[in-house]
Amino acid sequence: MAQLATSLKRFGLSDRLIRRNPLYYPRARRLLREFDALDAAAREAWRRSRTQRILAAARATDYGRRVGVPESLADWPLLEKPALRERPADFLARPAFLSVSAATSGTTGMPLQLRRSFECVAYEQAVIDHLMEIGGADRHCRAAVLRGDDIKDPRDREAPFWRLTHGGRRMVFSSNHLDAATLPHFVAALREYAPEVIFAYPTVLESLCSLMLEHGDELHVPLTMCGSEVLTPATSQIARRALHTRVLAWYGQAERVAWAQGNPEDGFRFLGSYSVNELQRVESPDDRPVDGTETYELIGTGLWNEAMPLVRYRTGDQVRLRQGSDPRAVAAGVETFHSVIGRSGDYLVAPSGARLMGIDHIPRNVPHLVRTQFIQESADSITLLVVPAPGFDEECRRMLLQHAALKLPPSMKVRIETTTQLVRNASGKAPLVVRQV
C-alpha cells in the first residue's frame, strides 16, 4: 500500500484523484474566494452552520455517544491526544474505506492513526493553492520540494540527489543528502530547473541558504512556502538574502483541526473557514511576556473532516499573541497573532554535517508504541528510546531499524532501548529529538 501511494504521488495521480478531487476541490476553491468577501455576520452564520454539521457527525461516533452526544460545542469536553491515540476507532463517523488513511508520530513521538474524509483532503489542498496564489504563484508552476522525502539510499553520495515528478512540474530533493560537499549539485540543479516556488521545511531551508551564503551562491526564486515546522525570523531573512524570494508559511497539524498562515514579519492569521479555535491563556510561574507577547494554548475543532470529526481537540501547540490582542478575534481569524511556538525542527546531524529530516517518520506505522524519543550522543551514535505498549516485540524493533535505515547513513548506529521515562528539557517537555552534540 505504501509503494502504491508513493507511485501515485510520483506521477501526480494522487493530486488529481484525491487532493484535487473534482467533486470537492473546485467547490473548496470557490468557498475560499467567497468567504474572504463575506462580512462578519455572514462569516459567523456560515461557521455556525458548518459547526453543527461537524457536531452531527461527531455525535454519531462511539466517542460522541460516550460523552453524551452534546448539542452545543461548548458542552463537549476537551479531547486529549492520548484518548485519540489509544482508541482511534471510537472517533470514526463512517466506515474506514470511505476515507483516506494518515499516520503520524507527531513532534512529541506519540503515534496517531487518523482518517480523513475526501472533502477534508481536497479542502486542505485548496487552502495551500489559495496561499500560493496570495504569494503570486500558480498551482501548475514548476516547484522544488526540500522536505523529508526519501529519494535514494543514504549511502549513495553521488548526484543526482533529486528526481522529477508530476510530469516534470516537481523536482523533489533528498534533503538528507544536503551538506557542504553536495551543495554545488543542489545549487546547480535549482539554477537549471528554475523553480517558481520552493516548498521546504524551515530547517532544510535554513541549511540550504546558510551554506549558499557561506559559499557566495545566490538564486532567484519568486516564492518560498514553508510548513510543518516553525519558520523563524532569522530563517526567513537568510532565505530572502540567498534566494531573493518572498517567504510565506503555514501552520497545521496531522489532525486537521486548525490552520494559520503568514510570515514572521507580518504575523500569522487563523483561517476562519477551516476550524473553530479556542485560545486558553497559559498561566505558570515560567510564563513571562516575551517581546511583548502572551502565550495561549490552541484548542481546535476542524470543520471539514466528517470521517473522523475531532471536537475541542487539545493540539498541544501554543501561540503567542501581542499584548492587547483580543483572543476571540485572533481565534476567529479577524486579528493576526505573533507566532506559533513549540514546533521547531526535529532533526539529527549526520557525520557529514547534513541535517537529517523526516525523523518523525521512523516510528510511523510501527505498532505497540506509546512514545519514542531519539537521543543523539555523538555524530554516529543514536539511542532510540521507546515507551512500549503491550505487544512490542522483536518485529517492532526490526521495523524501527528498517525505517531508520531509510533516513540515516550506515555510519550512524541506532540502539533501541525500552523505557518508562523519556528525557525532558528545562520546560518539562519530552521532545522527539534530543541532540547532545
Residue 22 maps to a domain: no
User: Domain for residue 421, yes or no?
Assistant: yes
pLDDT in tens, 28-77: 999 999 998 999 999 999 999 999 999 999 999 999 999 999 999 999 99
pLDDT score, position 345? 53
| Domain containing residue 192 | 124-251
Number of neighbours of residue 296 by Cβ within 10 angstroms: 22
Contact 408, 348 (CB under 8 A): yes
Any domain includes 112:
no
Same domain, yes or no, for 228 and 326?
Answer: no
Taking CA atoms, 6 is separated from 10, 14, 269, 394, in Å, by: 6, 9, 32, 27
Determine whether 289 is exposed, middle or buried from the number of CB atoms within 10 Å of its CB (0-12, 13-18, 19+): exposed
Q: Give the DSSP letter string of 132-196.
A: HHHTT--TTS-EEEESS---S-TT--SS--EEEEGGGTEEEE-GGG-STTTHHHHHHHHHHH--S
CA neighbor of 152 nearest in space, from 329, 342, 350, 406: 406
Residue 338's φ and ψ, nearest 5 degrees, are: -70, -55
* Beta-carbon count within 10 A of 254 CB: 15
Do residues 184 and 194 touch, judged by C-beta distance below 8 A?
A: no
Nearest to 301 by CA among 359, 259, 356: 259
Q: Which amino acid is at 246?
A: R
In a domain, 70, yes or no: no
The residue from 251, 279, 312 where one domain ends is 251
Supply the pLDDT for residue 427: 53
Neighbours of 6 (CB within 10 A): 12
Q: Return the pLDDT at 172.
A: 97
* Spatial separation of the C-alpha atoms in residues 165 and 141, rounded to whole Å: 13
Same domain, 129 and 235: yes
Residue 233 lies in a domain: yes
Predicted TM-score (pTM) of the model is 0.81
Domain boundary among 341, 362, 393: 341
309 and 391 fall within a common domain: no
What CATH number is attached to the domain comprising 236?
3.40.50
Nearest CA to 319 out of 364, 410, 253 is that of 253
Tens digits of residue pLDDT in 177-233: 888 889 999 999 999 999 999 999 888 898 899 899 989 999 999 999 999 888 889
Question: Is 174 in the same domain as 286?
Answer: no
Q: How far apart are CA 306 and CA 110, in angstroms?
A: 23
pLDDT of 422: 81
Place of cell 473557514: 273
pLDDT of the residue at 5: 46
Whether residues 319 and 286 fall in one domain = yes
Same domain, 241 and 353: no
Is residue 166 within 8 A of residue 172, CB to CB? The reply is: no
Q: Quick one: 150 and 201 in the same domain?
A: yes
Q: Does 56 map to a domain? A: no
Give the total number of structural domains in the chain.
3
Q: Give yes or no for a contact between 296 and 280, defined as CB atoms under 8 angstroms apart.
A: yes
Query: Are residues 362 and 325 located together in one domain of the fold?
Result: no
**Burial (0-12, 13-18, 19+ Cβ within 10 Å), 22:** exposed
Q: Verify that 207 and 275 share a domain, yes or no.
A: no
Q: 149 and 236: one domain?
A: yes
Per-residue pLDDT, 216: 94
Burial of 228 (0-12, 13-18, 19+ CB in 10 A): buried
Same domain, 301 and 414: no
| C-alpha 217 chain-centroid distance | 29
What phi and psi values does residue 170 have, to the nearest 5 degrees?
-135, 130
Measured distance CA(32)–CA(223) in Å, rounded: 21
Residue 96 lies in a domain: no
Alpha helices in 283-393 (DSSP H): 327-331
Answer yes or no: are the C-beta atoms of 381 and 404 closer than 8 Å: no
Give the distance, in angstroms, between the CA of residue 110 and the centroid of all CA atoms in the same chain.
14
Residue with cell 493540539: 315
43 belongs to a structural domain: no
**In this structure, what CATH number is given to the domain that contains residue 414?**
3.30.300.30
CA-CA distance, 262 to 265, in Å (whole number)?
Answer: 8
Residues 160 and 200 in one domain: yes
The owner of cell 472533502 is: 119
Q: How far is residue 141's CA from residue 403's CA, in Å, rounded to a whole number?
A: 32
Give the chain's residues under pLDDT 50. 1-5, 7-8, 285-287
